[in-house]
Amino acid sequence: MTIENSSSIDAPVGGERQPTVLQVLPALVTGGVERGTVDVAAALAQAGWRSIVASTGGPMVRELIRAGAEHIELPLASKNPLVIRKNTERLIHLIEDKGVDLVHARSRAPAWSAYGAAQRTNAHFVTTFHGTYNLGWFGLKQKYNAVMTKGERVIAISEFIAEHTRRVYGLEPERIRVIHRGVDLAKFDPTRVSQERIIQLANRWRLPDGYPVIMLPGRLTRWKGQAVLIEALAELGRHDIRCLLVGSDQGRASYRQELVDLVKKRDLTDVVHIVDECNDMPAAYMLTDVVVSASTDPEAFGRVVIEAQAMGRPVIATDHGAPREIVAHGRTGWLAAPGDASALAQAVGRFLALTEAERGTIADLGQRFVRANFTKEAMCARTLAVYREVLSGEAPVARQEELIPLEMT
């Protein structure tokens, strides 16, 4: 079944009291899980539902409240079994006090508390499977992870994750609903980024004019593949380009130093710049000519890939995980073998050889693909449709969710 892109969310039908939905997650810090939580919370409030989020708090709480949702501070980030058990009691009181109809768990530790609380209060229970999660030695963590399969409906953020839940956890297809993440096109719109913002960022990063810019956004952690890109650039052997590794090391100082040492070893100090997190990613994309996602482990989704395409930027991603779904190979970007510096070098070289007209075609196709399939509005509308399905008591039926192909955009 093809899900249509929706720019609005209808109010719930039936009954005098609008449903109350409680989303639970560890904290409201910057990240894909948190972004999706706030977006859905805002959509619920807009639709007239009562929208509550419970977490340990964080910088996104203000945005949540401005959107018309409520925030309840609970120690849901803890993985301590005693705290998890205590959180079950806290959530039972919260569900009963607020008249919660449905609990949506987005992370494992709070999901265990929420699952127990939902069972004891007869509240409906939904989960979102955001990643593959480490199985540990001999799959010892698999039982801990399996709480994310306990929802009456389990939202998978990509077909790749949906297949993972079926294969590893034996999840029944009829309970799975694939809802890809969505990008905020009001924010990631190239026409809304001023030249002043781009210039300010270029000056801060000391980028000279006239050089093609390659950017790899993502926290500095080994599996994000920064080292693979450095090796690819060394193999490419060009010094008339610039590369930005944009992301915080989040305390991984030793890995950052490894990258610095590798850049020096490969004689790329004039090419590769390691910069911290950027608070104006739309301007960063506009400053960039091609965006790379070189993850050596499969991405559950790959938010930077759709953000880049929304901004009209070609993408190079690794050929595994969700990027296979969100990159039209050879049309909106390229897929390269994971961990293969030579393949990545070839893809970068292919991009550098493009004409301006070819780049313009790629930009147009990428924007059309994102607008048809990966908007914030579509993500929220599909999530609320899952809530309605569960609240109605409808029996689960397997559904095949298909993206709208480029030819139909």
At 31 the pLDDT is 83
Q: Hey, is 47 helix, strand or coil?
A: coil
- What is the predicted pLDDT for the residue at 64? 97
Q: Give yes or no for a contact between 283 and 193, defined as CB atoms under 8 angstroms apart.
A: yes
Contacts with 129 (C-beta within 8 Å, 6 or more apart), sequence order: 148, 149, 154, 155, 156, 157, 161, 164, 165
What was the pLDDT predicted at 10? Answer: 53
* Full-model pTM: 0.91
- Supply the pLDDT for residue 16: 63
The per-residue b/e assignment along 106-125, b for 16 or more CB within 10 angstroms, e otherwise, is bbbbbbbbbbbbbeeeebbb
- What's the confidence (pLDDT) of residue 53? 98
Q: What is the pLDDT of residues 56-105, one digit of tens each?
A: 999 999 999 999 999 999 999 999 999 999 999 999 999 999 999 999 99
pLDDT, residue 252, reads 82
**Residue ranges, the chain, pLDDT below 50:** 1-9, 11-14
Residues 180 and 295: their CA atoms lie apart, in Å, by: 19
Q: For the segment 341-392, what is each residue's pLDDT rounded down to a tens digit?
A: 999 999 999 999 999 999 999 999 999 999 999 999 999 999 999 999 999 9
pLDDT score at 400: 78
Predicted confidence at residue 406, as pLDDT, reads 84
Q: Which domains does the chain have, with CATH numbers?
A: 20-182+375-408 (3.40.50.2000), 190-373 (3.40.50.2000)
